[in-house]
Amino acid sequence: MSDLRLDATQLDRYSRHVIMDEIGPEGQQRLLEGSVLVVGAGGLGSPAIQYLAAAGIGRLGIVDDDVVERSNLQRQIVHGDDDVGRPKVDSAADYVEALNPDVDVERHETRITADNVGELVDGYDVVLDASDNFGTRYLLNDHCVLTGTPLSHGAIYRFEGQVTTFTNERGDGTDSEGEDSPCYRCIFPEAPEPGTVPDCATTGVLGVLPGTVGCVQATEVVKYLLEKGDLLEGRLLMYDAMGMTFETVDVLANPSCPVCGNEPKIESVEDVSYEGSCEISAD
């Protein structure tokens, strides 16, 4: 880590971090030197982007190929009414730049694919998956496992959400009980068949729900960069907004997992078709 060099403005901006024993100026410097790639600038990405920027993450990448629609504004709060029709990466980046000039925003107006995932992900300390489709989730998981890149996962459905963290450290990267840590495929071996899980355009979503889930993801990323606290590694946090309940369940690594198991079959994202059930390609 570089020598501490918080200026007077930064000491003022981050004063509530600096006075905390668990963070202090050293921790804030760590955040300013950190880098996070947020994949998706929608419901989950919006609060995550806001709070990561406010926390002073020095380099923040945003990946999204969509434009702002008025129906997004009920939950995608990083965008405004004047942004309708604009690329989401542009309106999100404008928000960050207005909020915190310390943050270097990198705009990636594209859809993440097996061809460009390495170019987009590599070089960032952490990936925050705020995507809304299974193909992207499996693609990010596989690449992050193969490259040892930490990954924050979040998902929402109507009134419910889930969050977990995969540090993807292997060998000496184990959970508190000494077991290997799981990946997304350990929990969800295959994606559901297309059309069996409706999207929010079909079923709707409680507007404040992704705010809660995205904030939990941002919290996990900040804790990871600070190397403080207990992450949700090996645990899946499930949130029910209607019942206002939070529940965590332990999740274990699958020794037969095709990407992180004892005899992995996936050695490259080129081995997988990220459509349908996201299974390993026959050829």
This prediction has a pTM of 0.93
User: Which residues, 6+ apart, have CB-to-CB distance to 64 below 8 Å?
Assistant: 39, 40, 41, 42, 45, 87, 88, 89, 92, 108, 109
The candidate with the shortest Cα–Cα distance to 36, out of 12, 58, 20, is 58
| End-to-end alpha carbon distance in the chain | 45
Question: Where do the H-state alpha helices sit in 84-176?
Answer: 88-99, 117-121, 134-147
- pLDDT confidence bin for 273, thresholds 50/70/90: confident
215, exposed or middle or buried, with CB in 10 Å at 0-12, 13-18, 19+?
A: middle
pLDDT of residue 2: 47
pLDDT tens-digit readout, 122-164: 999 999 999 999 999 999 999 999 999 999 999 999 999 999 9
The answer to whether the CB of 49 falls within 8 A of the CB of 78 is yes
- pLDDT confidence bin for 279, thresholds 50/70/90: low
Query: Coil, strand, or helix at residue 205?
Result: strand
Question: Where do the H-state alpha helices sit in 14-132?
Answer: 15-18, 24-32, 45-55, 88-99, 117-121
Beta pairing partners, 129: 39, 153
- Taking residue 15's Cβ as centre, other Cβ atoms within 10 Å add up to 11
pLDDT tens-digit readout, 2-20: 456 899 999 999 999 999 9
Tell me the average pLDDT across 27-37.
98
Where is 184: in which H helix or E strand? helix 184-187
- pLDDT confidence bin for 239, thresholds 50/70/90: very high
Active site residue 200: yes
pLDDT of residue 270: 92
Which homologous superfamily is 10-271 in?
NAD(P)-binding Rossmann-like Domain (3.40.50.720)
Catalytic, out of 144, 183, 186, 200: 200
Please state, in angstroms and rounded to a whole number, the distance separating the CA atoms of residues 134 and 275: 8
The answer to whether the CB of 151 falls within 8 A of the CB of 166 is yes
pLDDT tens-digit readout, 166-216: 999 875 444 444 467 899 999 999 887 776 676 777 788 999 999 999 999
Question: Where along the chain do its domains lie?
Answer: 10-271
Please state, in angstroms and rounded to a whole number, the distance separating the CA atoms of residues 163 and 121: 20
pLDDT of residue 190: 87
pLDDT tens-digit readout, 98-109: 999 999 999 999
3-state helix, strand, coil in the chain (%, to 5): 35, 20, 45
pLDDT of residue 278: 65
The answer to whether the CB of 167 falls within 8 A of the CB of 224 is yes
pLDDT of residue 191: 85
pLDDT of residue 182: 95
Structure tokens at 156: 């929402």
Query: Coil, strand, or helix at residue 85?
Result: coil
pLDDT of 81 higher than 90? yes
Name which residue leads in pLDDT, 260 or 194.
260
pLDDT tens-digit readout, 48-64: 999 999 999 999 999 99
pLDDT of residue 181: 86
